[in-house]
Structure 1
Amino acid sequence: MGLASLPIVPLVAALLAYWLFKVASFFYRSWTSAVRCLPGPPCPSFVYGNEKEMYEGGTALLERWVERYGPTIHLQSFIGMSKLYTTDLKALHHILMNSYTYQKPEWFRYRLEEIVGKGLLTVEEDTHKRQRRIMNPAFSASQIRELGPIFFEKSLELRDIWEAEIRKQGGGGTIDVSLWLNRAALDIIGLGGFDYKFSALSGGENSGKLHHAFAETIANFMKFSPVSFLRAAFPALRWLPTRAGNGAEAAHKIMEDIGRQLIDAGKQAIYQSRKAGQNTLKNKDLLTILLRANMAADIPDNQRMSDEEVNAQIFTVMAAGHETTSTATTWALYALMKAPDVQKKLRNELLQVPSDSPSVDELNALPYLDAVIRESLRLHTPLPLTFRISEKDDVLPLSTPVRDTSGKTHESIQELHHSIRKGQMITIPMTPVNEDKTIWGEDRLEFRPERWECVPEAANAIPGVWGNSMAFFGGPRACIGYRFAIIAMKAMLFSLIRAFEFEPAGPVEDIGKSFFIVHRPFLKSDPEAGTQLPLKVRLYHKM
């Protein structure tokens, strides 16, 4: 029997032809997109497009492009693919509110799933709607209020550690605040999220296993390799072995095993409470509230989350909540370090509170603390950009008309009867909107909390879920844990600003922002050291 007569050959040929057709169709749609008719910067490389210069130039470069070409522009991505970039608030509102039409790109979801599984960050459409509906009670304002003691327990523990270290250094010394805030945020997420003691601040027995497994998984995600790119971009190549290898798989298995243990313990506690015939359950952590909502009698079986989905939510909370909280609080201290008058004014407000552990309501009643948080998140949004892809053709409305390369002006980007083709990549800017001169004025880059006493009218059109900013996104995919992050930030700043004064530990110009996934601080003089923010910290003494 000849090779050509084997049944496998025509099957392979058919699959190869289908795959080539799909790839060709993908590139054809991109290369013939109407978005290419929009103004935009020249493309320096067919292979990298504008991506490399965006990575190197950061959001400052994007701002210069918008000033030159307008709020809605065309950028070129890898291998000549087109990308729409817009800071137009009407367009952004349309994109964020229509989450079924504009979704995370499949390659991005795949990479996130390698960390958190099929949780709220990665699922789309009805699955996302179902998961979020069940999770909402765990992130309500009343539930976050219950977690207040946990926020302050860890904030005060951090304060005491710093005080002991500073006293060793004679009342003042240099502390890498990024490192310690990362540990404090992890402890807060562990206790408040799923009643788990990481003991990251104290270096206790639980600070190793899950913490290190999670850290290794995140580190593997942050590393770029050609194989990881190919696996993400082309599903047919996901059989390729990754450089991370068995170490990453072992780390992920540790995370899954501990997650299952937490779920089993939580469900058992709920069963015992029900068996007792009364509400004897004292656990207030988010996982317990989620499990109780998921086990409610009035939820149809087909609407419940599976244990695998619940497990994914644990690491979704860890990845998103921990990173957001620690990074945002780090940048808040950076902003206060650069503005001693603001720091002093904030401290004076905080010292009016008689207790070291006020309630969440008392914390929220501090207007200048609230303004400092809003202004810090406006200028130092942890996540500067994100991405969407259109799942169908759609007309994208604009508040600012755009003039295409032929000189024609459009109220929306029109291509026949549709403005956006299915498969169109779109960049959603958070930081550039938060720093938009047309919204915030000429002093937009100045850290000035007083601006929140009279919010610019134009800021009311920003489609964010909180604080007239894009810090926590907007629409049905807005950050479900934004209340958790805000109160955790307030609690840590409350404890630290009352106790310490913060000053630069070196040239302020030496502090840079990384531009990968989140904006992390690093020292330009020592980039190989990675994320760090050393500040000079002194004990505050009342006069």
Structure 2
Amino acid sequence: MIKTTDYPAWQIGLLVAALIFLRTAYRGRWRRLSSIENVPGPKPASWFGGNFLQMFNPTAWSYHEFLAKEYGSMIHLHGPFGSQALYTFDARAMHTIFVKDQETFDEADHFIQANQLLFGPGLLGTRGNDHRRQRKMLNPVFSAAHLRGMYPLFLEVTHRLEGAIVTKLESGPEIQEIDVLSWMARTALELIGQAGLGYSFDPLVGEESAHPYPRIIKQLVPTFLRLKFWTTTIFPRMAGIGTPKFRRFIVNLLPWKDLHHVRDMVDYMHEVASEIYKEKKKVFEGGDEAITQQTGRGKDLISILTYKVKENMKAVDEDRLADSEVIAMDTTSVSDCVLNMKDVQLIDPQKTAIARTLHLLVNHPDVQGKLRSELTQAREQNGGQDISYQDLVNLPYLDAICRETLPPRRAKKDGVLPLHKPVLGLDGTQMHEIAVPKGTSILVSIFNANRNTDLWGKDANEWKPERWLSSLPSAVTDAPIPGDDVHWWWAILHVRVNILYSEIRSSAKGALLSGFKFSQLEMKTVISILVEKFEFLPSVQDAKTFWQMNSITVPVVGEDENPQLPIRIRLAK
């Protein structure tokens, strides 16, 4: 019999510690194999960064394709500092996250905090009651009747763009190369300026008339992406330290170029938004006549909000919007047209979505020709006048093209994700659901969801507008995809969600659907007028054009990091 006195105390202590460690490790292994760590996935690149840098960088397309091909629709990833994450494009899991169990799978705190830093306490920077209250204020702006009333304004702005390009072509060679991205940014800014803010930014008569806003802000997303590791890991832990003035002092003190660049762009956005809001308040002080004579005729988003801010002083406190909230929504609205919001491409700004569509039409001249024929016929049927609102929204091929082209979550408490397609666990068991511990990050890959051959068929990777002109595969229509209308919801995911991962708000489904209708009308109006009037041809630099995988996809040419999309253009014959 061995007596404890036969061994020194330190050896006994070491043995006890080893037993405790082995027991803990065994239990931990058992727990892991019964939850998310039993889900297959790649090894972390490092403990410090996990798979973060592989996931979030401008050339990450191939890594996301690798994940889907190697591991399927539910994948275990590693976050920074040994944290755990799930990456999914499983239809049933998405339905649980976005519809069935929204309260459990809410936005990550860093997403809310980042948007508050960038845009203030607006729609993207709030949750819960504050977000619902703001969304309630916005609903009238996105009603079908209101959108129909804004259509003449959309036509007027787009015809200005058309006239500027015609003037350019008439004063030079028959075929000229233009930066489509720049012109779409200017047009989107003017459209959201008039329809959303009741403010005109740009007469759209030439390069020299461009407002500085797109030029100053276009680097916001690429710069913020370079800060993404810090905004998701370090900044949330520091956001509550001291006062805003103190945190600003620290930001100014740090020798950090990208951080200072974001600071300056945020300052500029706030300055522009504040000036627009001040002008609006002055107009409202002038009475009804002044309101109807302003840009947007008082039907724009900010006029409605300004009016409500004035009128709802009679309402209960919980329904009121503070000036800071209106300015924040003003800032977000302006930014959305240059950068955008939630796009699949949530998540692509509207200017990028339209530019992307034109670029696809360049590389699919047969589709471009078929669309031009549809548009020409619709105009002829309307007596040579602009296509009516009702006809525009119902044009089948234009609608198919728009459908075909078009934030991270964190579990707030323990939850369960049921799966549409079972996963074979590392221990050999077939998993039909995943137990998700509180605090687990969840990335929803809309990029892979829209390329899922199990749902869309073998041609899922092709840009094929014709798929929307006939019945979709039963795998799509039968899948528990989020939304009341599976077709439109997938169009939203494909056009209005973030091409990398979804950042759909837990309570924003209705607002997203409404905003999507606004964006679709904008997109259809611009595409319909431009494609009927002009023919778009490949640039000599097209082979060097690359769409970067930022939070919002942007095109660059070669080694030039300045976002641009050169396309040759001529009058259609």
TM-score interval for Structure 1 and Structure 2 normalised by the shorter chain: 0.7 to 0.9
Q: How does 1:397-436 map to 2 (within 5 A)?
A: 397-413=418-434, 419-436=435-452
Task: Give the one of 303, 308, 311 matched to 2:327.
Answer: 311
- Look up the match of 2:551: 517
CA distance in 2, matches of 1:504, 1:280: 43
Partner residue, 1:66: 68
Match of 1:373 in 2: 402
Residue equivalent to 1:360:
389
**Structure 2 length as normaliser, TM-score?**
0.78
| 8 Å CA contact retained: 1:39, 1:69 | yes
Q: 1:477 aligns with which of 490, 508, 513?
A: 508
Q: Secondary structure at the match of 2:420?
A: strand
**Contact 1:505-1:534 at 8 Å conserved across structures:** yes
Q: Is the 8 A contact 1:189 1:322 kept in 2?
A: no
Pair 1:296–1:68, CA change in 2 (3 A): same
The one-letter amino acid paired with 2:307 is R
The alignment partner of 1:73 has SS state of: strand
- Cα distance in 1 between the residues matched to 2:293 and 2:170: 44
**2:185–2:214 CA contact under 8 A, matched in 1:** no
1:459 counterpart residue number: 476
User: Using the alignment, how far apart are the partners of 1:204 and 1:152 within structure 2?
Assistant: 21
TM-score by length of 1: 0.82
What CA distance in whole angstroms lies between the structure 1 residues aligned with 2:304 and 2:185? 25
After TM superposition, give the deviation of residue 227 of structure 1 in Å. 6.8
Task: Report the AA paired with residue 42 of structure 1.
Answer: K
The 3 A distance-change label for structure 1 pair 40 and 56 is farther
The answer to whether the 8 A contact 2:169-2:570 is kept is yes
Question: Which amino acid is 1:395 matched to?
Answer: V
90 and 225 in structure 1: CA distance in 2 versus 1, 3 angstrom threshold = closer
Aligned pairs for 1:137-286 within 5 A: 137-199=140-202, 201-202=204-205, 207-208=210-211, 214-215=217-218, 221-224=224-227, 231-235=234-238, 239-240=250-251, 241-242=253-254, 243=256, 252-267=266-281, 269-270=283-284, 273=287, 282-286=297-301
For the residue of structure 1 that corresponds to 2:387, the secondary structure is coil
Distance 2:565 2:207 in 1: 24
- In the TM superposition, what is the alpha-carbon distance from 1:144 to its structure 2 partner? 1.8
Question: For each residue in 1:412-444, what CA deviation from the matched residue of structure 2 results, as whole angstroms up to 9, or x when unmatched?
Answer: 11xxxxx11111101011221112111111111
Between stretches 479-488 and 236-245, larger displacement belongs to 236-245
2:306 counterpart of 1:291: yes
Q: Deviations over 1:484-532 (max 9, x none)?
A: 2111111111111011111211365432220111111122xx2324212
CA distance in 2, matches of 1:190, 1:217: 19
Alignment-derived partner of residue 14 in structure 2: none
Unaligned runs of 5+ in 1: 1-27, 378-385, 414-418
Kindly provide the amino acid, as one letter, of the partner of residue 387 in structure 2.
P
Structure 1 457/58 Cα, relative in aligned 2: closer, same or farther at 3 Å? farther
Deviation (angstroms), 1:231 = 5.0
Q: CA deviation at 1:164?
A: 2.3
Structure 1 position 410, deviation (Å): 2.2
Correspondence 1:349 to 2:374: yes
Q: CA-to-partner distance for each residue in 1:280-339, whole Å, 9 max, x for gaps? A: 994221212233345555842321111111111111112224432101001101111111
CA distance in 2, matches of 1:132, 1:206: 34
**1:24 corresponding residue in structure 2:** none
Alpha-carbon offset, residue 163 of structure 1 = 2.1
Larger deviation: 446-455 or 334-343? Answer: 446-455
State the partner residue of 2:10. Answer: none
Q: In 2, are the aligned partners of 1:343 and 1:497 still within 8 Å (CA)?
A: yes
Structure 2: distance between partners of 1:503 and 1:208 = 27
Match of 2:501 in 1: none
Report the secondary structure of 2:416's partner residue: coil
- Bigger radius of gyration: 2
Query: CA 1:247/1:75 → structure 2, altered by over 3 Å: closer, same or farther?
Result: closer
Deviation at 1:395, TM superposition (A): 1.5
Hey, what's the Cα distance between the residues in 2 that align with 1:468 and 1:251? Answer: 33
Give 5+ residue unaligned stretches, structure 2: 1-27, 242-246, 340-348, 498-503
Tell me, yes or no, if the aligned pair for 1:186 and 1:200 is still in contact at 8 Å: no
How far apart, CA to CA, are the structure 1 residues paired with 2:311 and 2:93?
Answer: 39
Listed as ranges, the matches of 1:67-82 within 5 Å are 67-82=69-84
Segment of structure 1 superposing worse, 117-126 or 58-67? 58-67
Provide the rounded CA distance (Å) in 1 between the counterparts of 2:370 and 2:65.
31
Q: Distance in 2 between matches of 1:75 and 1:200?
A: 48
- Cα pair 1:193 1:317 within 8 Å, conserved: yes
Q: Paired residue for 1:93, among 91, 95, 105?
A: 95
Q: Does 1:539 align with 2:571?
A: yes
Residue in structure 2 matched with residue 124 of structure 1 by the alignment: 127
Query: Is contact 1:119-1:312 (8 Å) kept?
Result: yes
Kept in 2: contact 1:440–1:456 (CA 8 A)? yes
- Conserved? CA contact 1:387–1:428, under 8 Å: yes
Structure 1 residues 520 and 248, CA gap change in structure 2 (3 angstroms): closer
Structure 1 range deviating more: 490-499 or 255-264: 255-264
Q: Which moved more, 1:203-212 or 1:157-166?
A: 203-212
Q: Which shifted more, 66-75 or 98-107?
A: 98-107
Deviation digits for residues 175-222 of structure 1 (CA, Å, limit 9, x no counterpart):
121111111111111111111111173469995565566457556535
- Contact in 1 for aligned 2:93/2:418 (Cα 8 Å): yes
User: Aligned residue for 1:43?
Assistant: 44
2:426 is paired with a residue whose SS is coil
Contact 1:522–1:531 (8 Å) recurs in 2: yes
Q: Which has the higher mean CA deviation after the structures are superposed, 216-225 or 132-141?
A: 216-225
Alignment equivalent of 2:112, drawn from 85, 97, 109: 109
Q: Which amino acid aligns with 2:300?
A: D
Q: SS of the residue aligned with 1:536? A: strand
Residue identity matched to 2:94: L
Matching residue of 2:460: 444
1:325 equivalenced with 2:350 (yes/no) = yes
Q: How many residues align?
A: 497
* Mapped contact 1:402–1:410 kept (Cα < 8 A): yes
Question: Helix, strand or coil: the match of 1:399?
Answer: strand
Preserved CA contact (<8 Å) 1:459 1:468: no
Change (3 A) 1:133 1:457: farther
